[in-house]
Structure 1
Amino acid sequence: MNTPSYRARWSTLAASGALLVALTAGLAAPALAAPASSAATAGPADGRLDRAALARTIAGVPDDEVTGALVRVGGRDGQWSGTAGADVPADGRFRIGSISKVFTATVVLQLAAERRIDLAATVQHYLPGLLPADYPPVTVGQLLDHTSGLPGGSGLTSGDGSTQWFADHRADSWTPAEVVASAVTQPMAFAPGSAQQYNGINTFVAGMLVEKVTGHSFAQAVQARIARPLGLRDTYVPAAGETSLPGPHAHGYLTVPGPDGEGVLVDVTEQSAWPWAEGGMISSAADLDRFLTALFRGRLLPPAQQAELFTVPDVPNDHNKNCEVGPTAGHACFSMGLMSVTLPDGTRVWGKTGSRPGFTSGMFATRDLSRHVVYSLNPTTLDGREFPYVWGIVTTAFGSGQAY
């Protein structure tokens, strides 16, 4: 399916890096046939890992809209991994986009456990002068669960939102302070704590808080507190101005208008790491699988902070496409670091999606880790046309495969 209405339907979700939450849209929408390129077959009734069905979810790659795919599934019933497309290494690194937010939240929660940060204290206390004087108090905890009410980003970092704009500006860079300063020229979106709206500015502020409290760079904090203890060799925060993607990796491309009006592919693998703590990190499927497993098992956080990862605030969502679908539509779906998704068969999973131009990824697991999945796709657009692949991968991985 590739109609204009379909593309428009998912454009907002792609831009926010929240494609997976929309998986439950099938509950409220009319039944739709899965595209031939991503037909997903439901797993066996007993929930065993259906490797043949998983292989079929990426059998259509490459095509005009996705040039590569990497999937890794694990759990009690063993593991499966697969790749599709030219030059997609199974051990390849990729840009993880907003999955970076989980690392940021974990570091903040660790500092809270050490009593170096108080989740109930305000941003104004820790970072005086960062927010306008007429803003109400915003707590650290409200940053992590996206109930701060801070305004979203501006055109500073996204231009007109087109693939051409990004291809032309992929090496541009902004500091966290510049990104936040640009956003807070706008009024608050709502009173802090009264609603939830997924917002990357929250994570920029959280990253700045980490640096203020620790006296070290955010990159050093992630390395010392998460990557090194877990042996994550492919996971790091690129330096400011760094554009390369070192080591084995699939390439990311965008389709831009050519001189004859036909689309041409532009390699955007090398791009600025300006999203930083909000979305600039690099990792691999094996590393993300290890990180997610360690996080769920409590290896990174003590019980009190671990509980925050699986506690969603009881507030409505505010113009937040992430939480407007499925059985919890209209309510918050983010905790202090993770996203909660209820799949069509009722299975509840926790994790996070991430997107950077040329790269769309996700990591999700059941709370008991009986099944977990990491994926990375290489879409050529910015409007979410890779969604049928995401639908097939995730629902099939959790044994709730359903044609989109």
Structure 2
Amino acid sequence: MTAGVAQASPSDLQRDLDAIRDSGAVGVQARLVSPGKESVGSSGTSVRGHHVPVPTNGHFRIGSDTKTFAATVLLQLVAQGRISLDDSVEKWLPNLVQGNGNDGNLITVRNLLQHTSGIYDYPHTAEIEMQTEAGFRKHQFKRMAPEKVVELSVAHPPVFAPGSKWEYSNVNYIIAGMIIEKVTGRSWRDEVRDRIIRPLGMHDTTLPGDSPFLPWPHAEGYTLTGTGAFRSTEVSLGWGGAAAEIVSTTKDLGKFWRALLGGKLLPAAQLAEMKTTDPRGLYDGYGLGVLRHVTNCGIVTWFHDGGTPGFATGGAVTDDGRTSVIVSLSNDGKIKDQMAAKTRLVDNAICRSR
């Protein structure tokens, strides 16, 4: 443990971590940062069937939390006057979203970021297949250009007219990453590194592209099934791009979220746009790459949960950006009891810190 970091055990944080373990999680780590205080803890094991403590500085795939990084870059470009949220997909990526009832002229950048585009989500189909070991092996080392991912999505009719409904769709953010590249002339990865990761000193955050490996240290990742589990640590997610690719730690991820809500990454106008939610979305509303969640003690928080083969990420940051809690489970599989225990840890950590 590093100097100045408060030991979580036998604190309330540790008890909540143990509750997540007891709910069936293989391993879990968490970090709570509030003004003048930092607490870390872990529970469970890094290696299923063995007693190997989960490292509290362990790397993990943050999954859909990547979307917030992409949304932040696009909103920075809006602030610079280089793009508008009301621009159409067709304006920036001609002919990409056309056919089978799809029309990029009718889909705006805002629709993409807020999941109101109506575009069929091919990545979700693959995600469901990967919940079985056979499906995981099929897609484990997938290599696919973003244009191909969009092509496979647009091969289906839209699930609704743009703006008429809300439905989560990973392909929205794959397209968003492509728009970043078109606007800047650089990859979305380079823009995220230069605009967010390097300025904030997020030294343990990486964009691995197609590499299936995690930096050390890390817990092993597992996918839970109805009859057991299989190891799913190594997986290529470069094809998920701006929707799911980033690898980070609880320390770095908390640093990002506190900077974002603290106004260090976006001007006030663009941060307000990001926090303008669609009530049809998840939790208490979905903004532009962020989820609004009101804790059980009434505190408004923001975050973006993430899940990939082997890992599930949760957390919250207060509206003023002063307090954050980040949780990483070293398994995926949407087990209801685990998700409920994770939410209790997040709520308790935020409520007890005030």
Indicate the TM-score class for this superposition, using the shorter chain for normalisation. Answer: 0.7 to 0.9
Which residue number corresponds to residue 261 of structure 2? Answer: 296
Residue identity opposite 2:236 in structure 1: S
Q: Secondary structure at the match of 1:195?
A: coil
Question: In the aligned structure 1, how far is the partner of 2:167 from the partner of 2:332?
Answer: 27
Which residue number corresponds to residue 241 of structure 2? Answer: 276
Q: Does 2:181 match 1:211?
A: yes
Tell me how many residue pairs correspond in the alignment.
334
Distance 1:400 1:282, change over 3 A: same
- How is 1:34-183 mapped onto 2 (pairs within 5 angstroms)? 52-60=11-19, 62=21, 65-76=24-35, 78-84=37-43, 85=45, 86-133=52-99, 134-136=101-103, 137-153=106-122, 157-158=126-127, 160-169=129-138, 170-183=140-153
Question: In the aligned structure 2, how far is the partner of 1:180 from the partner of 1:358?
Answer: 25
Q: Does structure 1 conserve the Cα–Cα contact (< 8 Å) formed by 2:259 and 2:321?
A: no
Q: Deviations over 1:175-228 (max 9, x none)?
A: 222221111122222222233222211111101111111111221111111111
Q: Does structure 2 conserve the Cα–Cα contact (< 8 Å) formed by 1:159 and 1:165?
A: no
Identity %: 34
Match of 2:304 among 352, 361, 366: 352
**Structure 1: 5+ residue stretches without partners:** 1-48
Residue identity opposite 1:312 in structure 2: T
Indicate the structure whose relative CO is greater, using CA pairs within 8 Å and at least 6 residues apart.
1
Which residue number corresponds to residue 220 of structure 2? Answer: 251
Which residue number corresponds to residue 378 of structure 1? Answer: 330
Q: CA deviation at 1:285?
A: 0.7
**Structure 2: 5+ residue stretches without partners:** 1-7, 46-51
Q: CA deviation at 1:255?
A: 4.4
Q: Secondary structure at the match of 1:201?
A: helix
Q: Over the residues paired in the alignment, what is the CA RMSD in angstroms? A: 2.5
Q: Deviations over 1:142-198 (max 9, x none)?
A: 111112222222676236353313432322232222221111122222222233222
Question: In the aligned structure 2, how far is the partner of 1:284 from the partner of 1:362?
Answer: 12
Question: In the aligned structure 2, how far is the partner of 1:269 from the partner of 1:197?
Answer: 28
Match of 1:367 among 304, 307, 319: 319
Match of 2:160 among 159, 171, 190: 190
Question: In the aligned structure 1, how far is the partner of 2:27 from the partner of 2:9?
Answer: 21
Q: Secondary structure at the match of 1:229?
A: coil
Q: Does structure 2 conserve the Cα–Cα contact (< 8 Å) formed by 1:172 and 1:272?
A: yes
TM-score, scaled relative to structure 2: 0.86
Q: Deviations over 1:237-272 (max 9, x none)?
A: 112x31110121111023469xxxx63x43211111
Which residue number corresponds to residue 242 of structure 1? Answer: 211
Residue identity opposite 1:373 in structure 2: V
Question: In the aligned structure 2, how far is the partner of 1:207 from the partner of 1:380?
Answer: 25
Residue identity opposite 1:272 in structure 2: S
Q: CA deviation at 1:61?
A: 6.3
Bigger shift: 125-134 or 281-290?
125-134
Question: In the aligned structure 2, how far is the partner of 1:296 from the partner of 1:149?
Answer: 28
Question: In the aligned structure 2, how far is the partner of 1:294 from the partner of 1:109?
Answer: 15
Q: Does structure 2 conserve the Cα–Cα contact (< 8 Å) formed by 1:149 and 1:190?
A: yes
Bigger shift: 120-129 or 267-276?
267-276
TM-score, scaled relative to structure 1: 0.76
Residue identity opposite 1:80 in structure 2: S
Distance 1:165 1:64, change over 3 A: farther
Question: In the aligned structure 1, how far is the partner of 2:176 from the partner of 2:62?
Answer: 18
Residue identity opposite 2:116 in structure 1: T
Match of 2:288 among 326, 330, 336: 336
